[in-house]
Amino acid sequence: MFQQALALTTRDVALARRQGGGLGAAFGFILSVMVLIPLAIGPDQILLSKLAPGLMWLALLLSVLLTADRMFQQDFEDGSLDVMAMAKLPLEIVTLAKVLAHWFTVSLPLAIITPPLGLLMSIDVGQLPILLVSMVIGSLALSLLAAVGGAVTAGLRRGGLLVSLLVLPLYIPVLIFGVAASSANLSPSSSTPALTVLCAITLMSLVISPWACAAALKAYLR
C-alpha cells in the first residue's frame, strides 16, 4: 500500500512539473502582493513591519487557494479518478497522496519562498526563521483544507469561486495562529504556544481531510 501511494504521489509531482502554471501563477500573485503593498502603504516602515506577517500569511493563503480547484478536477474529467477508485488502494489514501503531491509542488515551495520576500516589507530579519517554520507547518494544513474544497467541486466546471467560499472559513484558524506564531512583536519563546496550536491544526487536518475528500469524490463517482 505504501509503495502504491508513493507511486501515485510521484506521478502527480511529475505531472505538475511537466504541466507547470500552478506554482508560477501562485508565485506571481505573492510577488505582486509583496511589491504593491509597500507602494500602497507608503514609506512608514514601522507600520509596514507590523503588518508584514499578516499580509504575508494572507498572500500565502490566497495563492494556495488559487490552485485548489485543479487538485482533483483533471483526474475526474479524464477518468483517472474512476480507475483509482476501483483499485485496491483506499480512496482516502489516494486523496492523501494527491494532497501531498500538491504540497510538494505548490504549498511547500511557496512557504519557503515567501519569508525572504518579507524583506521587501521591512520585516525584522530575526523573525524570518520562525516565520519560515510556521509557514512550512501551516502550508500542509492549507493544502489539506484546500483539497476538501477541490474534492467537493471536482465535478463542477468553473468551481473556483465555490472553492473559495467553502475553504476560506476553514482557513481562518490557520491564519490566526500562523500570524500569532510569526508576528514581529513576539519573541521566539512566546511564539511557541501559537506554533503548537498550528501544529495541532495541521495534524487534525491530516486526519480529517482525506476522509472528507474521499466522501465527496465517492458521491460524484456513484
pTM above 0.85, yes or no: yes
pLDDT at 177: 93
Residue with cell 498572500: 59
Name the 3-class secondary structure at 158.
coil
Q: Measure the CA–CA gap between 78 and 60, rounded to whole angstroms.
A: 30
Query: Could you give the CA distance from residue 111 to residue 103 in angstroms, rounded to a whole number?
Result: 10
pLDDT digits (tens), the chain, 222 positions: 667 777 777 877 777 777 665 677 888 888 888 888 888 887 788 888 888 888 999 999 998 988 887 788 777 777 777 777 777 778 888 899 889 988 998 899 999 999 888 888 888 888 888 899 999 999 999 999 999 988 888 767 665 677 878 889 999 999 999 998 887 455 556 678 889 999 999 999 999 999 998 888 888 776
Alpha helices by DSSP H, listed for 67-191, are 70-78, 80-86, 91-102, 108-117, 128-152, 160-182
Q: What is the pLDDT of residue 173?
A: 94
Tally of residues, the chain: 222
